[in-house]
Structure 1
Amino acid sequence: MNAITQINPGIRQQILDAFNFRHATKIFDPDRKISDEDFNVILEAARLSPTSFGHEPFRILMIQSPEKRELFREFSWGANGMMNGSSGQLGTASHFGIILAATDELMRAGSDYLQDHYARVKQLPDEVIEIFNGAYGKFQAEDHKITSGREITDWSGKQAYIVLANMMTAGALMGIDSCPIEGFDMARTTQVLAEDFGIDTAKWKPAVMFAFGHRAKDPEFLKTRRTMQDTVSWF
C-alpha cells in the first residue's frame, strides 16, 4: 500500500487564503509600490513556470514609464479605467506589463530558434534533440493539428496564461493584488509594440496584459464560483 503524504494543514490554509484574497483589481493605490525584492519573486515564478515541451514560448515586457503606458490607453479598454471612471490599471498599478507569445516563425517544429533552445537552454545532446524534433513535429502536425501561424501563436498564448497564473498566485501569497487584462485592441497593440518598443512582431505577438499593485479598496462583491460538484467530475 502506498503511503499518503501528510501536508502541513497551515500550508493548505495559506494556499486557500491566497486564492480567496486574489481578485481582478481594477484600481490600485498609486502610492503603494511593490518592492523590487517582492516583484522579483513574482518574475521568478514566471521564469520557472512549466510550458509545453519546455519551449518557453513567451517573453515578459515590463512597462513602468508613465509615458510608455499612455501609448496603450486609447485602445486598452480593460486597463484604461473607462468602465469605472478612473485612470485604470494603466494609471494606478505599481507594475504593468505584457506577456508576448512566440509566433510560428520561432515555434514551428524544426525552426532554428528551437534548435538553439534545445542546445543552449535545455542543454540536450544531439540525439535527444532529434527525438524532440520528431515528437514535437508529430504533436503539431498530427496530435493537435496546430500548423497555421495563428494556431501556433495561440498555442504559445496558452503557455503565457500558465505563466501569468503562477505570477498572480505568487503575488497573492505575498498579499499583492493583480489583474489579468485581455481588453485591448490586438492589432493596435501589436503596432505600438513594433513602433515604440522595437519588438519584432513577426516573432512575438501580445498575448495578455497584466497589472500588479495594492488594491485601493476592498472588493464590493463576494467572490462567487460554481460549486465543487459542478466543477469536478470523478471517475
Structure 2
Amino acid sequence: MKAVKEEILKAHAYRRAIKEFEVDQKISEEDFNFILEVGRRSPSSFGWEPWKFIVIQNMELREKLMEPSWGAQKQLPSASHFVILLARKGDEMRVGSDYLSYKSKEVDKLPADIEEMKLGFFKGFMENEFDLTDDRKIFDWACKQVYLPFANMMTAAAQIGIDSCPIEGFDRTKVEEILALESVVDTNKFGVAAMLAFGYKKEDSPFPQSRFPMEEVVEWVK
C-alpha cells in the first residue's frame, strides 16, 4: 500500500503544464485508450456524465483552431493527442430532456419508480439548492462536472509517464463556431468546457513545481 501511495504522489509531483511536445513522439493506442477510459469512468453529480470528449487528430482542423485558442499555440501543432472536452447545455440537462431519459432508462437501466424519484430529487436540486435556473448556470454546472475527468486523465497520464497540458485559453464562441462548421459538434447540445493536450514534453520546465504548504491549504475542525 505504501508503494502505491508513493507512486500516486510521484505522478502528481511529475505532472507539469507542458507548453510544447516532441512532434515525432506519439502515444500508443493502448496508452491513450487507458487515459480515455479513466476519463470515462470518472464520477459526476447525480451520475449524469454531462460530457463528451472529442479527440482532434486532424491537423487541418487543429490549424483552424489556432487563431481562437491563444493558450494552445504550441500545443495544437505538437501534441500527440489533443482533446476538447464538451459539457452539455441547458436543454440537455433539464428534467424531461431526451438525454436524461436516455441516461436513466438505457444506460443506468433504472426501474420507473427509481427514475421518477431520482429526477424529482434532481429537479429540486436544480431549482432550490443550486439555483440552476437558466442556461448559463446549467452549462457552468456541467462544466464543473467535466473537470473531474479533466483532472483524472492528467493524473492517469502522469502515472504512465505521459505529459499533458490543461488549456482554458480560448475564445469559446469562436471555437464552437469552427467545430459546428466542421460538423464536429452539435452546439445546440454541447459547449466547449476545456482542452487537454497530451504527448511527451520537448524539454523540462525550468520552473520547479510549487504548492502552498499543507497547513495553509487544510484546516481541521474537531
What range describes the TM-score normalised by the shorter chain of this pair?
Answer: over 0.9
Q: Quick one: which of 59, 63, 71 aligns to 1:66?
A: 59
Other structure's SS at 1:201 match: coil
Q: Quick one: which of 26, 30, 33 aligns to 1:40?
A: 33
Give the corresponding residue for 1:215. Answer: 201
Q: Distance in 1 between matches of 2:158 and 2:184?
A: 32
Q: Distance in 1 between matches of 2:96 and 2:141?
A: 16
Computed over aligned residues only, the root mean square deviation of the Cα atoms, in angstroms, reads 0.8
Q: Is the 8 A contact 1:110 1:137 kept in 2?
A: no
Give the corresponding residue for 1:177. Answer: 163
Q: Is the 8 A contact 1:26 1:179 kept in 2?
A: yes
Task: Kindly provide the CA deviation profile for residues 185-232 of structure 1, in whole angstroms up to 9, marking residues without a partner as x.
Answer: 011011011111342101100000110000111110111111100001
Q: Does 1:75 align with 2:61?
A: no
Q: Quick one: which of 48, 55, 62 aligns to 2:48?
A: 55
With 102-111 and 164-173 compared, the bigger mean Cα shift is at: 102-111
Give the corresponding residue for 2:117. Answer: 131
Q: Quick one: which of 152, 171, 183 aligns to 1:166?
A: 152
- So what's the TM-score if we normalise by structure 1? 0.93
Q: Distance in 2 between matches of 1:191 and 1:63?
A: 15
Other structure's SS at 1:168 match: helix
Give the corresponding residue for 1:85. Answer: none
Query: What residue identity is the alignment partner of 1:170?
Result: A
Task: Kindly provide the CA deviation profile for residues 59-96 of structure 1, in whole angstroms up to 9, marking residues without a partner as x.
Answer: 0001001111011101111001xxxxxxx000110000
Q: Does 1:205 align with 2:198?
A: no
Q: Distance in 2 between matches of 1:110 and 1:52?
A: 18
Q: Distance in 1 between matches of 2:184 and 2:36?
A: 22
Give the corresponding residue for 2:136. Answer: 150
> Gapped runs of 5+ residues in structure 2?
none
Other structure's SS at 1:160 match: helix
> Gapped runs of 5+ residues in structure 1?
1-7, 81-87
Other structure's SS at 1:233 match: coil
How many percent identity over aligned positions?
Answer: 45
Give the corresponding residue for 1:18. Answer: 11
Aligned pairs for 1:79-118 (under 5 A) are: 79-80=72-73, 88-118=74-104
Query: What residue identity is the alignment partner of 2:220?
Result: W
Q: Distance in 2 between matches of 1:46 and 1:180?
A: 14
Q: Is the 8 A contact 1:109 1:140 kept in 2?
A: no
Q: Is the 8 A contact 1:168 1:178 kept in 2?
A: yes
- So what's the TM-score if we normalise by structure 2? 0.98
